[in-house]
Homo-oligomer: A and B are copies of this chain.
Amino acid sequence: MMDAKEYLKKMSAELDGPIKSYIGDEEPKVLMDASKQYPYAGGKRMRPAMAVACCRAVGGDASKAVPLAVAIEYIHNFTLIHDDLMDGDEKRRGMTTIHVGYGMPTAVLAGDALFAKAYQIIAGLDVPAEKMRDTLQYVSKAVWDLARGQQMDVNNEGQIVSEEVYLETIKLKTSVLFAAAAAGGAIIGGASEEQVKAINEYAIELGLGFQMYDDYLGIAGDSSKTGKSVGNDIRKGKCTCMVTHTISVLKDEALLKEFKSILGNLDATDEQCARAKQIMQDAGSIDYNLNLARQKVENAIAKISFLPESEDKEFMIALARYAVDRDV
């Protein structure tokens, strides 16, 4: 089986140049610097790699999809800048976040600027205008949904929501941008409407698995690798699938009360967080979450069975499995 991580690295290296080519030396410098910081610093580049792979997997010319890949990466980074501001996070990928480094106004503007630049790039796609329009429709709907998902996430914090609401939230917050990358790449590559729909669904399912695994890493991951302090999600009262599952299966009233008293308690000690994790583990919730994440990924893979065999199809499959099998 293909090593998705290695292949991603290779694609990343190819995408790095284009990603660094769209923001010039315009004034004011501080805005350019702030806008460049996240996209230039790297990351997994899963979304842009997906755009290119989906284009090629349907027989398209990958070079036509590269600008879309850049646009999607800029949109992803615009949302990271604004999310970090909203969440008050001070570090990302070992860097100082934009609002901490440059102040709130510049963080708001750097996000807005990256968003605008993404659309400038899409407007300039070297494809027939009709394809550009179809791509634009996917992407702009995705950003609308992203804002909805992020607002739901804000609303959910400290609340116990149903698994259904949780899944809808992560679909909007995470899946739709993967889906815009994948569908956009496929459109540019010349896929039929039906194929675009299937590839869109592939990415939606992959995104769900990705986010559920991300939640898992937040609880059970190696914090020296993830950079996330274990217990953080518990203290913030983040309503993950693990939490909804524990709440729904736990019959022991005292245990349930204890669990709820730790969840969302900003002053919870490391011991208390470990205890909450243990309760979730004993309730089978961590396994439940992992199994559901893997199931989503298998659903994703099933959606693209129609694609002819190719290295890019292999990568799409490997990327889906990687989404739920990584340490960072």
Contact = CB atoms under 8 A, between A and B. Distances in A.
What bracket does the count of chain A residues touching chain B fall in?
35 or more
List the 7 closest pairs (A to B, CB-CB), nearest first: A129-B129, A116-B143, A119-B140, A113-B147, A86-B105, A31-B151, A116-B144
Contacts of A117: 140, 144
A106 interface: yes
Given A113-B144, A117-B144, A120-B137, 19 more contacts: A30-B151, A31-B148, A79-B112, A106-B151, A108-B108, A109-B154, A112-B112, A112-B115, A112-B147, A116-B144, A116-B147, A119-B139, A120-B140, A120-B144, A123-B140, A128-B129, A129-B132, A132-B133, A133-B133
Contacts of A267: none
Q: What copy number does this chain have within its complex?
A: 2
Interface of A: 26-28, 30-31, 79, 82, 85-86, 104-106, 108-113, 115-117, 119-120, 122-124, 128-130, 132-133, 136-137, 139-141, 143-144, 146-148, 150-152, 154-155
Contacts of A154: 105-106, 109
Question: Secondary structure at chain A's binding surface: helix, strand, loop or mixed?
Answer: helix
